[in-house]
Amino acid sequence: MKLIQRPRRLRRNETIRALVRETSLTPDDFVYPLFACEGEGVRREITSMPGCFNLSIDELVREVEAARSEGVRSVILFGVPDEKDAAGTGGYAEDGITQRAIRAVKREVRDVLVIADNCLCEYTDHGHCGLVKDGEVLNDPTLELLARTAVSHAEAGADIIAPSNMMDGFVIAIRSALDDEGFEHIPIMSYAVKYASAFYGPFREAAQSTPQFGDRRGYQMDPANAREAMREAELDWQEGADILMVKPALPYLDIIRAVRERFDAPVAAYQVSGEYAMLKAAGKLGWIDEDRVMMETLTAIKRAGADIILTYFAREMARRLA
């Protein structure tokens, strides 16, 4: 037998493997999610997310500075307010926790891109992503509050607005409001395809945003649906989204690939809290090699078609790739 094709020829050592490698990661691929809380000198580790913290603004600035110096160039900020109410007013208050965090980071850290997550669930006492009436999350009245939130984030200095609330029409509502206020240059990174996922559990511990009744299946997507993902992405694209996101990432690689093939837009993917927690937990137990699994999952997400990856590993990855 004479074998003509021998794929192993190109796998013989690391130099040749590097030569033919199709997908590689750089620190520029990553966005680092961070949680801002009230107080001073607060650096409270999130139990289910080892290595991630609720940070008061002074500590947040230090974290961003340190991450920046290690090569992280983009962060996405979430606010964890002390006070919550039914209308989520802390979400669009001029001196809300997120607005103050954005201002501080933009003032103190040079050359860092600040993305503002746009949702109400961290600010409502019922934990839902919009206004609630008779147990229903209202769509159109919520849009107005999301638009106000986006403008307040832009006024605070946010470079990109990232709406994650899954109300219908959220991109056009936010786009119009930003344009009306002179922020037509601010891009929207839409959580276009966001599934109602159990993988958000640890985030909800971090942001104290677990719904107090029911769940989010009335607005986030059914994990079983792929065609519907294309409809969601199409709508956001038509409404003026600049970047389309799929979330979570690893359980939805097929969706990342489909969005990549269908749209000539930058595609983002969010490796969410539960994905991170699983790797950290198994790593701690010594059941997997955490470092290698981190690399492998992020490579897989990029290979599927993501240009941008939001991940709690961003700082570790920047260090790793330096």
Binding of ligand PBG at residue 121 (CB under 6 A)?
yes
DSSP 8-state code for residue 222: P
CA atoms within 13 A on the CB side of 57: 18
Please identify, using beta-carbon distances, which residue of 56 and 165 lies nearer to ligand PBG: 165
What DSSP letter does each residue of 59-85 carry, written as one string?
HHHHHHHHHHHTT--EEEEEEE-S--B
The binding track of 126-145 with respect to ligand PBG, each residue x by CB under 6 A or -, is ---x----------------
- Dmax of the chain from CA atoms? 75
- DSSP 8-state class, residue 240: T
Taking the complex as a whole, the smallest distance from the CB of residue 78 to ligand PBG amounts, in Å, to 7
Residue 170 in the binding site for ligand PBG (CB under 6 A): no
Handedness of CA 257, 262, 267, 268 (dihedral sign): negative
Q: Is 203 in the site for ligand PBG (CB under 6 A)?
A: yes
Which of 124, 152, 164, 190 lies at the binding interface for ligand PBG (CB under 6 A)? Answer: 164
- 99: which residues sit within 8 A by CB, 6+ positions away? 93, 152, 153, 155, 156
Residue nearest to ligand PBG (CB): 203
Span near ligand PBG by CB under 6 A; candidates 3-11, 57-65, 116-124, 284-292: 116-124
User: Measured from the CB of residue 6, what is the shortest distance to ligand PBG in angstroms?
Assistant: 43
Select the span of 34-42, 132-140, 197-205, 299-307 touching ligand PBG (CB under 6 A). Answer: 197-205
Cα–Cα distance, 153 to 98 (Å, whole number): 8
Position 60 contacts ligand PBG (CB under 6 A) = no
Tell me how far apart the alpha carbons of residues 262 and 192 are, in angstroms, rounded to a whole number. 14
Residue closer to ligand PBG by CB (options 54, 164) is: 164
**106 near 114, Cβ under 8 Å?**
yes
Closest contact distance (angstroms) between CB of 126 and ligand PBG is 13
Which residues of this chain interact with ligand PBG, rule CB under 6 A?
A: 117, 119, 121, 129, 164-165, 200, 203-204, 272-273
